[in-house]
Amino acid sequence: MRGWSLSVAAAAMWAGILIAGEFPDLGFGRSVLLLLAGLACLVALLALARQPLPGRSRSIGRWACTPAVVAAFLVSSFVLLGTGWAELRAARVRASPLAHLAGALVHVSGTVASDPQEQTLGWTCSLHVAVLEPGRAGWPRAISLHDELWLEGHGSPPHVGAGDRVEVTGSLGSLHGRFGASLSRRGYPATMFVDSVTGRGPPSNPVLRAANGLRKALASSLARVFPARDAGLVAGLALGDTSRLDSQVEEDFRATGLSHLTAVSGENLAMFLAPVLGLGMMLGLGRRGRFTLGLLAIGFFVLLTRAEPSVLRAAAMSGLSTLGIFLGRPRSPPAIMGGAVLSLLAINPELVYGIGFQLSVAATAGMALLSGPISARLRFLPQGLGLAAGTTIGAQAGVTPLLLYHFGVVPTVSIPANLLAFPAVGPGMLLGLLAAAVGLVVRPLGLLTAMAARVPLGYLIGLASRLARSPLPSITSSGSQWPLLSAGIICVGALAWWLRAGHPMPRRALVVLMVVLPVFVWAGAVRAGPPSVLTVTFFDVGQGDAALLRSPRGAVVLVDGGPQLEQVATKLAALGVRRIDVMIATHPHADHVAGCPPCWPGSRSAWSSTRAAAAAPRTTRNS
């Protein structure tokens, strides 16, 4: 239990934060009482931990230190702490002056928190507000703040990046609807509809300025030594920068479950730390020097990769691992993962609502729970392949319930795709970065290194392209259902308990699995492949229309896309349809074309109707 106590505490605090989100407006007084109650439970837990072993003390000692009692106090204390802390943070956000100036034209100064992202109607980004000028009677001329603000603008995104200092003028808007509730839970008191953005220079922090400079230099060098498609993939693999990723490659990676490769995680951090610590050893640094160098390198990597949630999780785990090694007390992976998540939630409880953070934690938990037992049962494979298979299956099992909850689709091809991609990811990323670094100094040598890097990169692109058109269907759900998510988590937990307990699989169950699994896959492949006759499938999309035509020779035609953005795309994934030859919009109304854009990126042909192509973006916006 000791190895998992921090993980249990982190899960309990996570649950407490979610409870606070379901019951907002508890008020300052109740939040403080919850925090005090949580601290009281924690003190009681520490007192119980000091009790002698059962049977060697007074009557209280016979039951106080039993695992059930300890677990009850542990869970109760951190649920209360999580609820109280999250509600205090939420109360501070609701009290922000930005929340009380809805409809006002204001001027704010601050730093860009995330790179502007181009959207259908314009662009969006996040801003750390430092100074607010309300420009309204009865308010101070300027107010110092430490709040987040969600910016929405028209036209092309401004030429600024994360960390840049800016001044923004625009109208504040209140939070409403599902998206507004999501922003509120993530710590945004308001939105701003931007009129103008004025850059005021690079980051004032010299370390952040150096990280941004290195990022831009690497991106520029990648563009000089690689073709555009390969340069975009290396930037995604190494830096998590998908802004230059080819749209077709991005869609193929998403369809095959490889999109996590372009989200920076622990693997990228490990590859960055290894040469840094190796350099420290070559320079003769002692243990204290290597520890300091490692922490500085982790912090610089976080700034370099824009402090994405998955990077924060990996950095926290790496920092705790480094600290444990420095103190001569290394910890187990569950303890490190729990300590990292607990620390991050104590700093920023809003992280629990970030899908990237959720998936990163779930994948890490899946690997910690399942990779070892699964690899041990794959002894018939070579050791390296067995370990890769166990890690891939464990991570996929961990994220599957969340993927079904948030997106409603999990490609069945993702496990073989990840296994086949595994050998090429490291070489592609390292050789790509090396080519960019060398290209900064000697461009011809960078081009030569890039030629070697294009072999694994081409393999990854070709693999994703091939498997994205495989006939295997996807596992789908209606999404956003708590019972489904809970059942999935329970199933993963039960599987982990069964495997870690070392129970062998009964021979009858193994025989049944070996018979049923091929039949299931074969049946899905037959259902997903071209039909024997011309087939028309009418999708139930409510108020709207959507129909799929498939011919025996494999031609696929989609007529209309229904009124909801992802509904028809999910139904197509369930049928294993990964390519559309022709898409037809019968007329430009939202109930016919709103669901067309998500179905289109993987297709290689053009709209069958020029008028529909011109009308679709306009009607999608109105929907």
Q: Does residue 490 register a pLDDT over 70?
A: yes
- pLDDT value, residue 612: 31
d(CA 17, CA 12): 9
97-204 in CATH: which number?
A: 2.40.50
Between CA 597 and CA 611 the distance in angstroms is 15
Percent above pLDDT 90 for the chain? 29
CATH 3.40.50.2000 fits 535-622, yes or no: no
Tell me the pLDDT tens digit for each residue of 418-449.
889 988 998 999 899 999 999 999 999 999 99
Query: pLDDT category, 537, cuts 50, 70, 90?
Result: confident
The model's pLDDT over 213-253, given as tens digits with 9 standing for 90+, comes to 888 899 999 999 999 999 999 999 988 888 889 988 988 89
Rg (the chain; Cα; Å): 26
Q: Say how many residues make up the chain.
A: 623
Give residue for tokens 């999608």.
Answer: 620
> pLDDT for 272-325, tens place per residue?
888 888 888 888 888 888 888 889 888 888 888 888 888 888 899 988 888 888
Confidence of residue 601 (pLDDT cuts 50, 70, 90): low
C-alpha distances (whole Å) from 509 to each of 22, 279, 373, 394 are 42, 52, 18, 21
pLDDT of residue 191: 94
H/E run at residue 145: strand 143-154
Would you say residue 111 has pLDDT above 90? yes
The average pLDDT across 507-514 equals 64
Which pTM value belongs to this model? 0.80
User: Which of left, alpha, beta for 558 (phi over 0: left; psi -120 to 50: alpha)?
Assistant: beta
For residue 231, count other CB atoms closer than 10 A to its CB.
Answer: 25
- pLDDT tens readout for residues 130-179: 999 998 888 999 999 999 999 999 988 998 988 899 999 999 999 888 78
349, pLDDT greater than 80: yes
Angle subtended at Cα 601 by Cα 528 and Cα 307, rounded to the nearest 5 degrees: 115
Domain boundaries, the chain: 2-94, 97-204, 209-354+413-476, 355-412+483-514, 535-622
Average pLDDT on 369-381 reads 84
> Is the per-residue pLDDT at 584 higher than 80?
yes
Q: How far is CA 184 from CA 41, 81, 90, in A?
A: 30, 20, 8
The mean-pLDDT minimum among 411-420, 473-482, 513-522 falls in 513-522
Residue range 396-416: mean pLDDT, rounded: 86
Q: Report the mean per-residue pLDDT for the chain.
A: 82
Q: Where is 538: in which H helix or E strand?
A: strand 535-538
| The pLDDT of residue 610 | 29
